[in-house]
Structure 1
Amino acid sequence: MIFGKPSPSSQDGEVDEDSPSTLPEPIRPKVLTFGPPARSSGSPPSEDSTAPTPSKPLRVAKLKAADTVSLEEPPVVPSNSTATCPYMERYAIEVLVVGAHDEPIAELAVELRKSDTEALASKTDASGRARFEALQKQRYDLCLPTLDSATWEVVGREPLPAERARSAGNATWRAPAKAPEASSPHVVVQGECLAEIAARHGFLSEVLWNLPDNGKLKELRGASALLFPGDEVVLPALRVKTQSCEVGEAFRLRRKGAREQFRVRFLSGDGTPRGGIPYLLTLELEGGAEERKGETDGDGYVSEPVPPDVDKVRLVLGKEEPQEVYEFQMAYLDPLDTISGVQARLTNLGYPCGEVSGELDSLTRRALRDFQRDHSLEVTGELDDTTRKKLEELYLS
């Protein structure tokens, strides 16, 4: 390949070496060499080239001082324990509900309210206890949603033991229970009394009896113990009451006025009290039977507190044969201002009236005359006020 014109040659064909070459310079690749940077024999340059370089003895002294300080620090001891985040800790609140005589109340609704829209619902167990768990540390409100505010009170409050104060898990919050907002009438049926109606709907009997809406009933019957089938009892809206509480606490609540008094008197043939006689009392309740033992008092009375919803009372008098057995149907006695109520009382006192018909028939008039004669009353065979008062005195209702 020809890169250019040849230079003029001499006549003898020799090339003049002193003349410049007309050929271009060949292209030579540039070679880069990699290797460690050149170091000087002195100390490495500092970041500030103008700063003085410390001497070797000074640097050694500083290192020894740092080692001494590190050896004086307390050693780090490894631990297997872990701390729970305060936002993840959970606690509990416990509630015990008892009656007027400190008896546990089972199956009673209890609520723990976090706000107006969030609540935990529970029921007391056979021992009257309820427990709320998985609670964050804040204030809450305790509530008995099926009881009127006048029906319960706080009688005890104390911190829970440490092992029972803590809890785990997550609580499921729901809307609080809704109570009736308006008054409603309740029509009485046979076997109901005011105490039983009040207890079933969460009221005290005196609250219902003194309610202005029940004024006509109060005037008609005169006494709250007995009602007649067909009577109407107005039930007002429940008044809600709450108790402020904190986690890690135990509360003792008491339901007031939920017991009635069962009372019967035993007399001998000559009218003297039969005192000191042992008895066995059996209460028939919805949840089963409850037994009580005791003795008649000096005046011959058996007196026991009973739940208002007791259906029947069975009383066995004496330990040795022959024992006397009596059965009492509770809340089936009609008021004294009715003919049927008078007939039932006369029959139970030993003056039979035949069938309790509610009519002043010949058998009832004969029973009235016998009763009036035995108690030194005017013998008329009629239901006058004096006869009614004597019946109430002897029958205790």
Structure 2
Amino acid sequence: MGTTGQGPGLDEVNGLSQEARSGVRRLLDGFRPAVVSGVAGAAVAALVVGLILMDVPVIVIGGGVLALLVVLGALGGRRRSAREKPPAGRTALARIEDLRATAGEMADVPVEFKLTVAPRPEDDRPAYRVKFTQHINLADLPAYRPRGIVVVEYRPDEPWNVRVLTRPTEEWSRRAEEAEIDSAPESSSVSDPDGGVGAWCLVVLLGLLAGAAVVVLLFRGELFASEGPAERSSPSSSVSRTFSTSTTVSGPSSSLLTFGRMRMTAWELEARVGSAYVTSLTIEDRRMAVRGDSALPPAEAVHLQSLPYELFPGLVREARTTLGVRAPGSWRIDVSPGAGTEVGPRVRVTVSGPEGTARLDADGTGRITDRRAVGEAG
């Protein structure tokens, strides 16, 4: 007995199944950027948190996940490039509906084309409209005019992927001179369906932020400890001890004048000596050093985190340009507790060059209180 008319045929069932699998695949493709960006954000946050807390396992986990993502991304890119052969481009003729040069400062200017493309007969596709931008040399620009015929290259499976051939062969140049193409209706316009770059960027950004937020929340107790700097240090400890330490930064752009680098280095030194109160702080271009005595009261010491590090680069720049040192070779900042009637720490910036040495003094707020140019006594 036949089953015609009693249910869907085998081809129809296979088509529905294939369509369902395609829908699931598109859904997974949509979730993949969010998941990958979330994992990347968590890995970066773990690496930063590990460095702040000096937690080696967290640093290893964050760095390992980042390295794994890079390796998987490289392997996935190679696999896709090996599996997906780029479609072959085809040459055809097109009618210029409109064009507009959007800039003109360089030899090659971006030109916005609106074309009617006449596909090859074997593609069995009607003419269609497309809009795109291509760089054209200024010398060649007069050859392109509305209602003119040009030679283009397009891809049958991606009809929006079109470019004008500025140097076509003699045969196609002759065809372009002899051809007449009617304008396609506006309804035939095509565009890249995956052109929503802004939406993908937003998804990736949200994924990065979400992953980083999860890691920060997991370590919020260690990152935002309730005790302040004064409580973490113990200048009034019954056991007196003196300490001194220094650190040197390295790298092509690791000068301590870089914004934020001084304060971060001061945090590292504070964690190393176990006290925020020091008796002296020295800062050079790539070196920072502290000395201290835990027996001294806070009034006779400098609190590392109370200093205006963000203003120190401006003081160095002022000393290097206004005190008569035309070619300053080195600079140095010395911070010490205020003496006598001074309130707060004293900051002294010294610069040296072939002309000699000059200095300026500032208070704990970064306000300049004294200057000594080259050759002045004091």
- TM-score interval for Structure 1 and Structure 2 normalised by the shorter chain: under 0.3
Question: TM (normalized to structure 2)?
Answer: 0.19
